[in-house]
């Protein structure tokens, strides 16, 4: 998708064209679904959250500053909707039995082909999904979207140093998992200190 195409569809959407919303959805859905699927632990909620993201996109479009990148703005909506979902989940969690909440979690296939594929990619994806939410968000936006630390800081409304710390800690945890064994062969962990 090029920016000229996107601008055309955004103009049509601002004018109330339903076809434009469908086209913008088609152009952006893979990244949005992929991001949400990685950020939320209950895969049954992915479709609901994505629907809310596109409803919010529709409502917030008049306030969109066209001098800024559209995908960055859209990711701001993604973060706000996932955060809202997490708050709602916490409220539900407090009201229900913990064991029923933490039991079986069905697997939902995502349309994001970039994260699917060979076994190693699946292992990496699983390891990222097991990271705490704050670390997972930082890693996804740093390496999946290739945002700068400053851009991530703006999206998350935190200092850039905090973003760097979270990315560093996430990478440290991922390295600890994958440095010890890769493709069945043991490798020494170069990050551990020798005493």
Name residue, tokens 């440290």.
172
Give the contacts of 108 (CB within 8 A, at least 6 positions apart): 37, 43, 44, 46
Task: Note the pLDDT tens digit of each residue in 90-149.
Answer: 655 554 544 454 555 555 555 444 444 456 667 777 888 889 989 999 998 998 888 999
Beta-bridge partners for 186: 181
Q: Which of 122, 152, 148 is nearest to 136 (CA)?
A: 152
Residue 167 has pLDDT above 60, yes or no: yes
Q: How many CA atoms lie within 13 A of 195 on its CB side?
A: 0
pLDDT at 135: 92
- DSSP calls for 94-156: HHS-HHHHHS-------S-TTT-SSHHHHHHHHHHHTS-HHHHHHHIIIIIS---HHHHHHHH
For the segment 28-52, what is each residue's pLDDT rounded down to a tens digit? 999 999 899 888 877 788 989 999 9
Phi/psi class of residue 157: alpha, beta or left (left: φ > 0; alpha: ψ in -120 to 50)? Answer: left
User: How far is Cα 83 from Cα 162, in angstroms, rounded to an integer?
Assistant: 18
Strands 185-186 and 181-182 turn out to be antiparallel
54-91 residue pLDDT tens: 999 988 988 888 888 898 999 999 999 988 887 776 65
- pLDDT beyond 90 at 175: no
Residue 166 is predicted with a pLDDT of 94
């Amino acid at each position: 998708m090029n920016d000229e195409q996107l601008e055309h569809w955004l103009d049509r959407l601002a004018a109330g064209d339903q076809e434009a919303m469908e086209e913008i959805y088609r152009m952006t859905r893979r990244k949005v679904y992929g991001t949400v699927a990685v950020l939320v632990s209950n895969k049954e909620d992915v479709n609901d959250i994505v629907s809310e993201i596109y409803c919010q996109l529709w409502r917030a479009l008049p306030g969109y500053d066209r001098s800024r990148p559209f995908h960055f703005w859209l990711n701001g909506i993604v973060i706000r909707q996932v955060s809202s979902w997490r708050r709602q989940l916490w409220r539900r969690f407090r009201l229900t039995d913990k064991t029923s909440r933490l039991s079986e979690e069905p697997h939902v296939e995502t349309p994001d082909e970039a994260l699917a594929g060979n076994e190693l990619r699946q292992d990496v994806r699983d390891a990222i999904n097991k990271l705490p939410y704050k670390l997972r968000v930082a890693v996804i936006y740093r390496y999946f979207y290739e945002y700068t630390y400053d851009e991530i800081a703006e999206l998350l409304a935190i200092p850039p140093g905090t973003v760097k710390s979270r990315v560093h800690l996430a990478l440290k945890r991922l390295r600890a998992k994958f440095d010890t064994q890769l493709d069945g062969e043991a490798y020494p962990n170069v990050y551990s200190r020798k005493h």
